[in-house]
Chain A
Amino acid sequence: MFDWWQYEFMRTALWAVLLLVPLLSLLGTLVVNNRMSFFSDALGHSALTGVAIGVLAGVSDHRLVTVLFGVVFALLMNRIRRSRLASTDTVIGVFSSVGVALGLTLLSARGNLSNYQSLLVGDILSVTPQELWVLGLALLITVAVWLLCFNGFFAVSVSPSVARSKGFSVGLYDNLFVVLVAVVVMLAIRWVGLLLINAMLILPAASARNVARSMRSFYLLALLFGLYSGVLGLILSYYNGVATGPTIILVLAAVFFGTFLLRKK
């Protein structure tokens, strides 16, 4: 049962799951509450362009370029979303399409598009021990921001007017949240893949929302559902010889449907 433990890549992958899943679950709670799952999906798709720009710029580690691009892309998308010049889902749909098309065009210009297929589904088993530190730091920063800023994030999403009357800076919290999501999505994209990242972001929170009766239980359940599915998915994929990321998503989806049947009436 525990023979997977003897392999270092599996032990590293377990650590990666234990760091990455809580990180995504935490952000996912507000993505789900704010009905922004289409927004985060578009952000994930735009990673393709971020990587392409990194490749064309000739940088050996595209991560920094990808993160910077993600932040700019997210702020721009948020600004247009807030301006109410067009309907939100149309604007995000356009951004999403451009993110993918531009990325594919730029990468194909180098004639080696197939080299980047791993970006689509990612590979959590490819996390190196050094990268675990990056993930740990990202989790630490996100938890700190959450402790300091959660009330502001939530206040602004429920009523910007009341939030403003209570002294919250509406623009600051609104943008800080999308920047945080952008950074984490861009960091995680090579391990989770742009087709799957959004599922890992929203499924734990969506499942928790089905049964939670307070903000505390919502957070606790999102975390537990995420960790349970992450670890179980990793082990199942090892024994069945299938890809890890998609297996985790399938376990998460099973949890979602289970909680959906149990949902509060």
Chain B
Amino acid sequence: MSHCGLHCLKINHITVRAGGETLVEDVSLHAHCGEITAVIGRNGAGKSTLFKAILGEIPHQGQVVFTGHNGTPAQNKPRIGYVPQSLNLDEGSPATVLDMALTYTSRWPAFLPAPRRLRRDIAAHFARFDAADLLDKPAGRLSGGEWQRVLLAIATRPHPDMLMLDEPVSGVDKAGLVRFYDLLEQLRREDMVILLISHDLDFVRQHADRVVLLDRRVLASGAPADVFAGEAFANAFPTGGEPHV
């Protein structure tokens, strides 16, 4: 039995249109607390667009409802942790990882020296994600795996009700992915809804509780074994593993 304030994310009939095109059509899905829900699909299937609609970043039709335990809409606005695919940060940026953490997770102006206690708090939180030793590194020069851990640490400070992860298509090695999914497994036990866009179907098969196969519309959804055995999956991923681009 989970104890989080948020029990379920209900997405009802979301449609996104832009420039005369329908990018996401009538998508409904429920994601539950304490579960990892993975959204999969070919490139351009509307996965990131769906995320942007859930975040309220782009105009859309339909509803995004967060419900409490008894099924009624949540009282407070849920806290969302979001891990994007990429950031607008170039290699020459002077920002360190600590600067990024201060910017997104504290009120302390990031261009001033951080008080020792605040730095200690951030370091303690980052240590959970094997990222404490990255704090003084230039943020623009991290490897893909390091970035993912840093962004996950930023997304979970403070503890979110829902974690949304848009996994990068490339740049993270296998060892990095293993570590990343380990961390997700730990977070799952901490009462949060986890919604993940993933390109690595092996990891989805292993770790996700529910899978949603998207191609503008929901083609299939349910337990990974069921979705992976279905006809829709075979059509979307004819090679069975690598996304059909």
Contacts and interface: CB of A to CB of B under 8 A. Distances in A.
A159 B155 CA distance: 13
Contacts, number: 83
Interface in B123-152: 136, 138, 151
A166 interface: yes
Contact of A214 (B56, B108, B136): B136
Contact of B82 (A165, A213, A219): A165
Contacts of B155: 162, 165
Given A164-B56, A217-B94, A158 B138 contact: no
A217 B155 CA distance: 26
A214 B104 contact: no
Contacts of A158: 87-89, 95, 100, 103
B80 A165 contact: yes
Interface residues of A, number: 28
Main secondary structure, interface of B, reads loop
Interface in B104-120: 104-113
Contacts of A162: 82, 84, 87, 104, 151, 154-155
B55 A164 contact: yes
A212 interface: yes
Interface string B20-62: 0000000000000000000000000000000010011100000
A219 B111 contact: yes
Contact of A161 (B82, B105, B138): B82
6 contacts: A151-B106, A151-B107, A154-B110, A158-B89, A160-B57, A214-B96
Given A150-B111, A161-B52, A215-B96, 19 more contacts: A33-B93, A147-B109, A151-B102, A158-B87, A158-B89, A158-B100, A161-B57, A162-B84, A162-B154, A163-B104, A164-B55, A164-B56, A165-B80, A165-B155, A209-B92, A213-B138, A214-B99, A216-B113, A218-B94
